Structure 1
Amino acid sequence: MLNEIFSVSFLVSLLAGTIRLATPILMPALGQIYTQRAGILNLGVEGTMLMASVCGFSAAAATGSLWLGFLTGVATGALFSALMAWLSISLRVNQVIAGIGMNILATGLAAYIYRLIYGIRTLPAKITSFQAVNIPVLSDIPYLGTIFFQHNVLVYFAFLLVPISWFVLEKTVFGLKIRAVGEHPRAADSKGVSVGAIRYAAVIIGGAYAGAGGVFMTIAYLNMFTETVIGGFGYIAVSVVIFSRFQPGRAMWGALLFGFASALQVRLQALGSGIPSQLLLMLPYLMTIAALIFASKQAEFPSAYTIPYSRMER
């Protein structure tokens, strides 16, 4: 058993799986950095990903276009998060309660949409998912080529979003406004920055990223939709944001850490390790709890984090 675990083939497969399973965590985590830097806590990421996964899958199955399915998932994530923005920014409801309510709504609505389109089936509907794109020359490098350069295009896209998100947040006026409304919304308002508009934009962008992560699961990782397809990745993404201290580069390493835990439990089950599968399934979530305990002591949250803003109040 140990010989198999420490074999080169197992380690290469494990590391390649780590990168693939980090993708649906990394994309929503990057999006939530926008949202949480603006002072909004969106716990509805799980539900947003679930809605995007079913809508994107249905669009891809109906049209035969995976890219149209992907764009549908991104748009669904943005629209679903717009509802969260309306609740938390315009109505100023408690953000934790609103996020949990969004997840409950998505759980029922996603199942209803799927059954409305496909009916009750003994086997789930399937599509042909995105295939791996082998990067010329690099994919032929022994071991490293398999780990890094034999993934589908959405995996590469997710990691490309890391420097893009860093640049937007750190080097643009829009990124400066996001930080301003998260730290000192009244001061930003006094300088002519629309706090509500910037927060709406940040929440919707976060939803679009979450939609990308959700639809990845059905059209690029699996080739079908199930009601448990997201499996807690949305909550893990929120924890990655705190773990990363709202930095895109750190979020990438956090996503890889949780991706490693997920890939490890999958491969240990495949090996027939003898460890109860229920305990293996707990591994990513135990790591999430441990990371939150460690990171929460060092995290520096925006000054106006979770605090609704009203120009009329002092």
Structure 2
Amino acid sequence: MTALATTPSPAPATDEVRTVAVVSRKAPIAFAVVTALLALLLALQGREGNTNFRFSAEGDLVRIPDMAVPGMPLAWVSVVVLAVLTAVAFWLVRAARRIPTWLTLIFVLVAFVAFLAWAGAGSDRDFPVVRLIGGAVLLAVPIVFGALGGVIGERAGVVNIAIEAQLLAGAFSAAVAGSVTGSPWVGLVAAVVAGVLVALVLGLFTITHKVNQVIVGVVLNVLVLGITSFLYSQVLVPNAQLNETTRFSRISIPLLSDIPVVGPALFEQTIVVYLMYLTVPAVWFALYRTRWGLRVRAVGEHPKAADTVGIKVERTRYRALMIAGAVAGLGGAFYTVVSVSSFGKNMTAGAGFIALAAVIFGKWDPVRAALAALLFGFASNLEGALSVVGAPVPSQFMLMLPYVVTLLAVAGLVGRSRAPAADGEPYVKE
């Protein structure tokens, strides 16, 4: 008998797919820089005394006692917490894991606590926490609306540098329409129309004529600023009755407004603020849970593939831009039917560019972009809060603080982010 020769069978092929997580060191480095700067501030400019926090206002149904804490010890404890969070961020990067959003939010919150504890040490006045939160929400309203408009536009593949123009046009239109009719509701509708018109001009040049989107956005910002400044000087100043709007009154929501600390700050606001509360989840739902949102994201990621399955790329982008312009127009109306009763030259003061930064900081997600806008609003409101307690911080520094926070957020805290693949690229059908 002869033995049969056998050959070893090849090893079965596996379909295992290895994924490599690409992480960025920018966020932990930014954490480390902020922690070091705060520690240096505390070491070189130490202050004595307590920091007083006031959590309730007169007339609140539920009152929380005021709190006096040692300012410098609280600040140093906060710096230690920041150092721990920084170490966690470096460990996550070393383990090739992404830094979660909640870690960044906690870091920012603790950093603000450290700064407030240092700034209020030794002052005989209280930090009004309710006023600090409420003012931050108000200052963030136009930035939130602008950021939501930016998210919608860029998800469709159009870089919306013209958010500033949409906010400014909305503010001007709301002022004139509200003054002529005496109704802030008419002003609100006029602001929406103005935002849509600016978006249509942006779409005409970028979608139809394939002009560079960044250049068109910058030109629109300058154009709208020039037009509104000219009309303000030549029309509104000689005719003051055209620039006296009726503002929305505050509406207190029962039960919710009685929640300690956050109730009066969040639920004793105007209808525009409540619209903001509704618009954020509405935009999130529309983008991620509807057929329209799927098409918008498809034309922003791969317009050619979307076109092959029957999606009209240009039509989808136009509709997205118009909706984005309407949302941004609501933010512009805030200036003249909520904040003040008249229009002023360049009254948006760069809020559109901060909204654009919030889009990047929020990684093109509506909820994250709204949270980023709230961060910038809080930074803008710090000037008033620090002036109340007489903090030894130059007013010039506080005026530039929102922009410093913007730079840190975009350059460091955001970590690695990826815009929609076709963002800024005109679609040319072959």
What range is the shorter-chain TM-score in? over 0.9
Indicate how the Cα distance of structure 1 residues 151 and 35 shifts in structure 2: closer, same or farther if over 3 A, else same: same
How much does 1:123 deviate? 12
Structure-1 separation of matches of 2:356 and 2:196:
17
**Which is worse superposed, 172-181 or 131-140?**
131-140
State which of 9, 14, 25 in structure 1 corresponds to 2:143: 25
| Matched residue, 1:218 | 336
Structure-1 separation of matches of 2:157 and 2:405:
26
Describe how 1:81-92 pairs up with structure 2 within 5 A. Answer: 81-92=199-210
Larger Rg: 2
**Which is worse superposed, 147-156 or 271-280?**
271-280
**Which is worse superposed, 113-122 or 124-133?**
113-122
Structure-1 separation of matches of 2:257 and 2:50:
26
State which of 53, 63, 75 in structure 1 corresponds to 2:181: 63
Higher relative contact order (CA 8 A, sep 6+): 1
How much does 1:124 deviate? 10
Give the unaligned 5+ runs of structure 2: 1-46, 56-126
| Matched residue, 1:115 | 233
How much does 1:201 deviate? 1.1
How much does 1:268 deviate? 2.5
Deviations 1:190-240 (A, max 9, x none): 111111111111111111111110111111122221113111110111111
Q: Give the conservation status (yes or no) of the 8 Å contact 2:133–2:262.
A: no
> RMSD over aligned Cα, in angstroms?
2.1
How much does 1:271 deviate? 4.9
1:188 aligned onto 2:306: yes
**Which is worse superposed, 53-62 or 139-148?**
139-148
Indicate how the Cα distance of structure 1 residues 300 and 112 shifts in structure 2: closer, same or farther if over 3 A, else same: same
Indicate how the Cα distance of structure 1 residues 92 and 124 shifts in structure 2: closer, same or farther if over 3 A, else same: same
Q: Give the conservation status (yes or no) of the 8 Å contact 1:124–1:226.
A: no
**Which is worse superposed, 46-55 or 122-131?**
122-131
Indicate how the Cα distance of structure 1 residues 3 and 24 shifts in structure 2: closer, same or farther if over 3 A, else same: farther
Indicate how the Cα distance of structure 1 residues 93 and 170 shifts in structure 2: closer, same or farther if over 3 A, else same: same
| Matched residue, 1:275 | 393
TM-score (norm 2): 0.69
1:149 aligned onto 2:267: yes
1:199 aligned onto 2:246: no
AA aligned to 1:138 is: L
AA aligned to 2:427 is: Y
State which of 32, 35, 45 in structure 1 corresponds to 2:163: 45
1:105 aligned onto 2:105: no
| Matched residue, 2:375 | 257
Q: Give the conservation status (yes or no) of the 8 Å contact 2:302–2:422.
A: yes
| Matched residue, 2:102 | none
Indicate how the Cα distance of structure 1 residues 122 and 132 shifts in structure 2: closer, same or farther if over 3 A, else same: closer
Secondary structure at the aligned position of 1:127 is classed as coil
Q: Give the conservation status (yes or no) of the 8 Å contact 1:124–1:225.
A: no
Deviations 1:130-189 (A, max 9, x none): 111111232234433212211111101101111111111011111011111111101111
Q: Give the conservation status (yes or no) of the 8 Å contact 2:180–2:242.
A: no
Structure-1 separation of matches of 2:274 and 2:147:
16
AA aligned to 2:269 is: H
Indicate how the Cα distance of structure 1 residues 216 and 111 shifts in structure 2: closer, same or farther if over 3 A, else same: same
Structure-2 separation of matches of 1:22 and 1:13:
14
Give the unaligned 5+ runs of structure 1: none
Secondary structure at the aligned position of 2:128 is classed as helix
Secondary structure at the aligned position of 2:424 is classed as coil
Structure-1 separation of matches of 2:392 and 2:217:
38
How much does 1:120 deviate? 4.8
Structure-1 separation of matches of 2:411 and 2:133:
26
How much does 1:272 deviate? 4.7
Q: Give the conservation status (yes or no) of the 8 Å contact 2:232–2:345.
A: no
Secondary structure at the aligned position of 1:230 is classed as coil
Percentage of matched positions with identical amino acids: 38
| Matched residue, 1:235 | 353
AA aligned to 1:6 is: F
**Which is worse superposed, 183-192 or 140-149?**
140-149
**Which is worse superposed, 106-115 or 66-75?**
106-115
Structure-1 separation of matches of 2:287 and 2:277:
16
How much does 1:269 deviate? 3.9
Structure-1 separation of matches of 2:282 and 2:175:
26
Structure-2 separation of matches of 1:93 and 1:274:
49
Structure-2 separation of matches of 1:133 and 1:281:
30
Paired residues, what number?
312
**Which is worse superposed, 232-241 or 9-18?**
9-18
How much does 1:29 deviate? 0.8
